[in-house]
């Protein structure tokens, strides 16, 4: 083998190693699974999906995102007779990354089949309940919830004594299920659980996680693309607690 050929091979290998070492996203690659169930809310699911997909575009694929269901690949109808979305795979609670759970879309109360409480109860009778439990027990998984999606892990007993937020109409139910309801747009209870309040808070939950996991430059690029700036302070049980003037 000639000296020139050896030199070329060494230079090529060094160049490849240099590029790999200079990759700012090498240790920050993240996969996001967005869970669909019958009657899910479209905006709860698709707003975060677009944020994560755009983050993947700006980070050379450091973020990947897919739609999943507890049952596996299938067509999943959204609530209020909305369009169905295709779940691409089964929810895998063992896979490191983020699992995002949306809420339901339907009547806010009542006993009809299309009432949100019944849609959520039906979802918890599937394999979703056990898979959420596995996800919460997996140290390599971040669980995020949007709107009424926070009630799903709460119904499974996974939010006992944990700070969380859901849609305002579900806050009383959230407390009755053992969680500590916090009136904030986004609530972080430890690094592995983040919840969002109303239906549009899915944008803020996703942008916060992108900022936290990949940094502010990618988050800012997505905000500029969407012409939207993340709303609200992310609440954490840190710092000085404010005085409650309603207490005697």
| CA dihedral sign of residues 58, 191, 141, 148 | negative
Q: Is 49 helix (H, G, I), strand (E, B) or coil?
A: helix
Each residue's pLDDT, cut to its tens digit, for the chain (248 residues) gives: 554 444 444 444 444 454 455 666 566 799 999 999 999 999 999 999 999 999 999 999 999 999 999 999 999 999 999 999 999 999 999 999 999 999 999 999 999 999 999 999 999 999 999 999 999 999 999 999 999 999 999 999 999 999 999 999 999 999 999 999 999 999 999 999 999 999 999 999 999 999 999 999 999 999 999 999 999 999 999 999 999 998 86
Residue count of the chain, please give it: 248
User: Which position has the token pair 């979703």?
Assistant: 128
Sequential DSSP letters for 106-123: SBSSSSSTTBHHHHHHHH
Cβ proximity of 200 and 168 under 8 Å: no
CA atoms within 13 A on the CB side of 38: 13
What pairing do the DSSP bridges indicate for beta strands 63-69 and 30-36? parallel
- How far is it, in rounded angstroms, from Cα 195 to Cα 126? 22
Residues with Cβ within 8 Å of residue 228, at least 6 apart in sequence: 203
- How far is it, in rounded angstroms, from Cα 186 to Cα 196? 5
């Amino acid at each position: 083998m000639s000296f020139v050929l050896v030199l070329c091979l060494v230079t090529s290998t060094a160049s490849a190693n240099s590029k790999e070492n200079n990759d700012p996203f090498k240790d920050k690659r993240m996969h996001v699974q967005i869970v669909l169930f019958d009657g899910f809310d479209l905006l709860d699911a698709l707003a975060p999906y677009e944020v994560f997909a755009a983050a993947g575009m700006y980070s050379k694929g450091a973020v990947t995102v897919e739609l999943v269901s507890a049952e596996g690949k299938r067509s999943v109808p959204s609530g209020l007779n909305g369009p169905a979305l295709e779940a691409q795979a089964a929810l895998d609670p063992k896979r490191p990354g983020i699992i995002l759970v949306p809420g339901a879309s339907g009547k806010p109360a009542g006993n009809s089949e299309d009432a949100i409480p019944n849609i959520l109860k039906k979802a918890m009778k599937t394999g979703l309940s056990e898979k959420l439990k596995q996800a919460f027990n997996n140290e390599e998984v971040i669980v995020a919830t949007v709107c009424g999606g926070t009630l799903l892990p709460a119904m499974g007993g996974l939010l006992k004594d944990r700070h969380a937020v859901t849609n305002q109409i579900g806050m009383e139910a959230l407390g009755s299920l053992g969680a500590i309801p916090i009136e904030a747009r986004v609530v972080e209870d430890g690094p592995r659980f983040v919840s969002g309040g109303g239906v549009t808070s899915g944008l803020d939950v996703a942008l916060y996680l992108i900022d936290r996991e990949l940094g502010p430059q990618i988050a800012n690029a997505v905000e500029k693309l969407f012409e939207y700036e993340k709303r609200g302070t992310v609440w954490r049980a840190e710092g000085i607690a404010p005085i409650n003037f309603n207490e005697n």
